[in-house]
Structure 1
Amino acid sequence: MKLLPCVALFGLCLAHSAHAQPPSLPDPTSVRLDRLQLMQGFPPAADRRVTAGSYMRQYPQARWAFHHMRELLPSRSIPRGAGPASPLPAGADRSAEIEALRFNGASGELSFAEYLKNTYTDGVIVLLEGKVVYQRYFGMPEEQPHIMWSMTKSMIGLIATQLIHEGKLDAEALVTDYLPELADSGWKGATVQQVLNMTADVSYSEVYADAESDVVKYAMAAGMSPVPADYPGARSLYDYLPSIPGKGNHGREFQYRTVHTEVLGWILRRVTGQDSAQMIGERIWSPLGTEHEAYMLLDPAGTEWAGAGMNASLRDLARFGEMLRNDGAFNGRQIVAPQVLASIREGADRELFKASGRIGQDGYSYRNQFWISHNRDGAFELLGVHGQMIHVNPAAGLVLVRLSSHPVAASAAHFPTTRPAMAALAELLRTKR
């Protein structure tokens, strides 16, 4: 299959930006996972192989990789625990009316079924008041873990907010109080809360259309991308982070930078004495009563990618989303304190967010690694590149999880249509409650 004019790095398309003409995309049906026949045979034919060195530079090979990351890169398990899986009850099947739902997207009217197809959805599940009313897989095995990309950030942010609630982490403390290793870095003078809200000021560019961007150095330090033999830069995350400079203008603007979450993950490891997988497993994954083990991807030194590395199955993420909707309660347990969710839903400075120019997210803010819509329903989201999303609408009783393999990483490629799609779905289900 002909490669797209797109090279992905850290799951991020280098050939497409918010203002560039998008590349010509393949028919989504033609690149369904179950039709690609990649990595088939013993051994697979050369044109059917996916490797750690190639998966980010080729599509649709990347689609296979998003379901099989631990076969390409080192990982650490997030245990589900020894107990039975918690119920995820079925409600009235709303498949026909959901797929037929029509709404106006960025490029005109379309159905919800067309929206799912056009966003290269691998699997989607919709819960209404905690019951499954729609579930569909597009070539993705039900039990298959899928990379969450930046939805991982929200998992880390949730644990950080819980630790603040417990008095084990001080949101107003300086980053360097916990990480003296960053005393000469751009995080000097920044608070933990500024890292949580991504308003700490560091000289780091996350420009995916620029092969010289700092995100390239980040990807190589994390082990996401092959490192040339003569590369002089850092080859692990905690070697790379201290090298990032800054001007110290903290709290003045929101800029989405994955390295902030890596710093946050480092702080949590220092505070708890646990790695990220252990924290997630003990505090969230096992108490949820998940069906499947999840896992985190690792850098060459064995450090999890706190900003992008979690992989999990669709139904387990639905359990997680329902816990968020239900003020931290699920499976008969209060897994996260309700005050934690209340704090996150408050959002942050919308003017600082507005200045960042995020396409399709006008009116939003970013707080504690979550995207807060500030709409009338109090909807909030976890988002990841290539179309990963958990959408939580408390007022409508709605949770939607979508795992995707969109060829274009940036959310600007689909979020202007995703937003009205979520609004239309909420209105449909609200009238059926």
Structure 2
Amino acid sequence: MATVLLSTQVPAAELPDPESVRTDRLQLMQGFPPSAEKQVTLAGFMRPYPNPRWSFHHARELIPSRRVARGNDGVYELPRAEGWEQKIADLQFTGPDGEPMSFQQYLDATYVDGVLVMQHGKVLFEQYQPGVPEDEPHILWSVTKSVVGLLATQLIEEGALNPASLVTDHVPELADSGWRGATVQQVLDMTADIDYSEVYADRDSDVVKYSLAAGMAPVPHDYPGARDLYSYLPTISAGVDPHGKSFRYRTTHTEVLGWILRRVTGLSTAALVEQRIWRKLGAEQDAYMLLDPRGAEWAGAGLNVTLRDLARFAEMVRLEGEFNGQRIVSAEAVRAIREGGDREAFKAAGRDYQPGYSYRNQWWISHNADGAIEALGVHGQMIHINPTVGLVMVRLSSHPVASSAQTMPLSLPALAALADLLRE
């Protein structure tokens, strides 16, 4: 799902000790059948915690999915550099509370399921939480958006999609919705204004309606709302601001983008990812995308991949689209994203934990001295690409709190220290 729009941090004292919720110790879904207290169903996909420690890498066992095939070509083996594991684990930096913290402590504090660090294409550090299967795809949540955004940018570069065209040129079903008058570019940059709230701590937020339409939880039998994504999106009305004025993060924009890409290409989102990217990466495993009750992929949240395959994708982006001996996306597409968006418009979202950032084509642009860009998902999913240092870090997590406001204050100094270590 998406990052919380407005959120405060939960004090560390109120979070469970990461050691107490290790996957190997929880023994969720063990036994034939599992005991009631160890069973995870769709109703418990997201809560209570620590169910996500199991469900985030077993999502297709709870929700319908569509395969994203790796194809029949060989695996692109990631080369490795020796001698870095302990250096990175012991790396010291100053945390947001002013106290010293090691990189290993940072990983533990962000409830990491798996993390991989590369420089110039070589793996320096790879670690999994005990009990997490390395070959089982993990849900990316909103990192999915950045994959879809890259594909949309590539279609723009090819001339197959006009960013100035109206959303309703492609999806007339939205003619009476909040996207009336919005352009494709405004959807890509999330500056189209709609009457929709995305606050996960609020049970009355519109994100609950989105979640039920997507099939993220059982729908009550007397629920009067839409029960699939393409029935739900047309019910969202216009916001109060003109389109293009302010950035506000809303997953429904990416669901509209997914609808547009289906119309432009004639392909499902899964097929588009498969044909354009996944079969070319030299991936180890098939990926998959989660589906709503009518078979539409969650374009804003539903991609599931393994850690090393996520690293292959991130390295392809770092290399401006050329990877595994072939051109996968154009360099121009990657550069268009890295240019960034409107930094003044970004301030409207109130995301003070991302100072100086902008949002462009479904990617987070840091505008720091190294030109780092990121893809982020709730509960701690992350791609971090630092082109100056040649650094890629990918992280899969099951943090108890959804919001990136919980993890970014730790990630920013940790990644800055990592970049400085590798710069030397």
Q: TM-score range by the shorter chain?
A: over 0.9
Q: Which residue number corresponds to residue 90 of structure 2?
A: 100
**Counterparts of 1:308-387 in structure 2 under 5 Å?**
308-387=301-380
Task: Tell me whether 1:196 sits opposite 2:188 in the alignment.
Answer: yes
Measured in 1, the distance between the counterparts of 2:158 and 2:337 equals 15
Query: CA 1:113/1:21 → structure 2, altered by over 3 Å: closer, same or farther?
Result: closer
Q: Secondary structure at the match of 2:116?
A: strand
Measured in 2, the distance between the counterparts of 1:257 and 1:23 equals 30
Choose which of 103, 112, 116 in structure 2 pairs with 1:121. Answer: 112
Q: Which residue number corresponds to residue 299 of structure 1?
A: 292
Choose which of 82, 87, 96 in structure 1 pairs with 2:77. Answer: 87
Q: Which residue number corresponds to residue 3 of structure 1?
A: none
Of 367-376 and 31-40, deviating more is 31-40
Q: Which amino acid aligns with 1:251?
A: G
Task: Tell me whether 1:428 sits opposite 2:418 in the alignment.
Answer: no
Choose which of 35, 49, 56 in structure 1 pairs with 2:25. Answer: 35
Q: Which residue number corresponds to residue 6 of structure 1?
A: none
Measured in 1, the distance between the counterparts of 2:183 and 2:45 equals 37
- Given that 2:2 and 2:377 are in contact with CA atoms closer than 8 Å, whether structure 1 keeps it comes out as no
Task: Determine what percentage of the aligned residue pairs are the same residue.
Answer: 61
Deviation, 1:20, is: 6.5
Q: Which residue number corresponds to residue 46 of structure 1?
A: 36
Measured in 1, the distance between the counterparts of 2:181 and 2:172 equals 11
Q: Which residue number corresponds to residue 403 of structure 2?
A: 410
Measured in 2, the distance between the counterparts of 1:21 and 1:215 equals 24
Tell me the alpha carbon deviations over residues 390-418 of structure 1, each in whole angstroms, 9 at most, x when there is no partner.
10000001000110010011011120110
Task: Tell me whether 1:179 sits opposite 2:171 in the alignment.
Answer: yes
Choose which of 126, 129, 134 in structure 2 pairs with 1:135. Answer: 126
**Which runs of 5 or more residues in structure 2 are unaligned?**
none
- Given that 1:18 and 1:359 are in contact with CA atoms closer than 8 Å, whether structure 2 keeps it comes out as no
TM-score normalised to structure 1 length: 0.95
Q: Secondary structure at the match of 2:211?
A: helix
Measured in 1, the distance between the counterparts of 2:134 and 2:47 equals 27
- Given that 1:359 and 1:416 are in contact with CA atoms closer than 8 Å, whether structure 2 keeps it comes out as no
- Given that 1:197 and 1:254 are in contact with CA atoms closer than 8 Å, whether structure 2 keeps it comes out as yes
Choose which of 265, 268, 279 in structure 2 pairs with 1:275. Answer: 268
TM-score normalised to structure 2 length: 0.97
Deviation, 1:430, is: 1.1
Choose which of 212, 216, 228 in structure 2 pairs with 1:224. Answer: 216
Runs of 4+ in 1 over 2 A off after TM superposition: 10-14, 19-23
Q: Which amino acid aligns with 2:200?
A: Y
Query: CA 1:63/1:381 → structure 2, altered by over 3 Å: closer, same or farther?
Result: same
Q: Which amino acid aligns with 2:134?
A: E
Choose which of 53, 58, 81 in structure 2 pairs with 1:63. Answer: 53
Q: Which residue number corresponds to residue 163 of structure 1?
A: 155
Deviation, 1:194, is: 0.2
Query: CA 1:263/1:289 → structure 2, altered by over 3 Å: closer, same or farther?
Result: same
Measured in 2, the distance between the counterparts of 1:53 and 1:134 equals 36
- Given that 2:193 and 2:243 are in contact with CA atoms closer than 8 Å, whether structure 1 keeps it comes out as yes
> Across the two proteins, how many residue pairs are aligned to each other?
421
